[in-house]
């Protein structure tokens, strides 16, 4: 790649991208051997096929760029670039062959899955049947019927297990739905209680404010009465201050009246 960088940065970039795709393809085909499920193998194979298509496109770009620049290079450089392109094509073809091999294996597994393990060997079965006696044929038929019955029972068990799982899931969903409904109802009750509490707090606040006003007025009245009493005691002859009903006249007036009666 360093040699390509000295020749053309674009060629070096394309070569790097192709090398990245080939590494992904190599690792992907190694992983395919570890995958047992045919569906997962098919998805993995489709991803690898996309990488192969991209690699093929990049090789075409590489070849196009080489042809555009071959007039600027000497004979040895053009030979090296041609060998590089052929090496890419050879490696890509090896991955294409692997892809065909794995695709064939996956198709065979699907045929065995849907048609049964003995469907692919019809001619062999015919030859074996021609060499069997009637008793052997009957035993073979009974054996196949037993295998079919067992397969049917296994299928019924799988269906029943699926139904049980569905029932359990439905019950769990129903319980969760009921729990959510209870939670919503409790939240509504809490919201209502908070609203009533807020109104009660407001009413208590208004009552406290009213009580404070009344206490304030009473305090002012008491202070006024005390003030009048003090003023009357200090200035008993002040005519501008009226007597408070129920309050006895000053002591000086009583003395004057008693003095007049003596005379």
How would residue 258 be classed by pLDDT, with cut points 50, 70 and 90? very low
Other C-beta atoms lying within 10 Å of the C-beta of residue 248: 9
How would residue 54 be classed by pLDDT, with cut points 50, 70 and 90? very high
How would residue 236 be classed by pLDDT, with cut points 50, 70 and 90? low
Q: What is the pLDDT of residue 218?
A: 87
Of the listed ranges 18-32, 40-54, 98-112, the least confidently predicted one is 98-112
Domain ranges of the chain: 1-114+174-189, 191-237
pLDDT greater than 80 at residue 139: no
- Tokens 């298509």 locate to 53
DSSP designation for 37: -
pLDDT greater than 70 at residue 138: no
Find out whether 102 and 32 touch, Cβ atoms under 8 Å.
yes
Q: What is the pLDDT of residue 5?
A: 73
Q: What is the pLDDT of residue 244?
A: 53
Q: Is the pTM of this model over 0.75?
A: no
How would residue 20 be classed by pLDDT, with cut points 50, 70 and 90? very high
Q: Which residues contact 164 (CB under 8 A, 6 or more apart)?
A: none
pLDDT greater than 80 at residue 128: no
pLDDT greater than 60 at residue 204: yes
Q: How far apart are CA 190 and CA 35, in angstroms?
A: 55
Other C-beta atoms lying within 10 Å of the C-beta of residue 88: 22
Q: How far from 21 is each of 28, 41, 95, 104, CA to CA, in Å? A: 10, 19, 11, 23
């Amino acid at each position: 790649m360093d040699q390509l960088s000295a020749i053309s940065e674009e060629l070096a970039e394309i070569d790097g991208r192709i090398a990245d795709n080939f590494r992904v393809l190599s690792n992907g085909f190694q992983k395919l051997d570890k995958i047992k499920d045919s569906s997962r193998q098919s998805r993995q194979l489709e991803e690898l096929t996309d990488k192969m298509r991209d690699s093929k496109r990049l090789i075409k770009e590489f070849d196009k760029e080489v042809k555009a620049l071959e007039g600027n290079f000497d004979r040895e450089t053009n030979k090296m670039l041609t060998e590089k392109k052929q090496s890419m094509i050879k490696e890509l073809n090896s991955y294409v062959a692997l892809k065909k091999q794995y695709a064939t294996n996956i198709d065979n597994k699907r045929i065995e899955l849907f048609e049964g393990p003995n469907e692919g060997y019809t001619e062999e079965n015919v030859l074996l049947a021609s060499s069997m006696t009637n008793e052997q044929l009957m035993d073979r038929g009974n054996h196949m019927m037993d295998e079919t019955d067992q397969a049917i029972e296994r299928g019924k068990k799988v269906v029943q297990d699926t139904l049980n799982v569905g029932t359990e899931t439905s019950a769990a969903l129903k319980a969760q739905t009921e729990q959510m409904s209870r939670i919503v109802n409790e939240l509504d009750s809490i919201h209502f209680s908070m609203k009533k509490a807020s109104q009660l707090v407001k009413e208590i606040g208004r009552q406290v404010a009213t009580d404070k006003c009344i206490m304030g007025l009473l305090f002012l009245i008491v202070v006024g009465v005390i003030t009048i009493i003090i003023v009357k005691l200090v200035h008993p002859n002040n005519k501008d201050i009226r007597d408070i009903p129920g309050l006895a006249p000053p002591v000086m007036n009583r003395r004057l009246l008693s003095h007049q009666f003596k005379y």
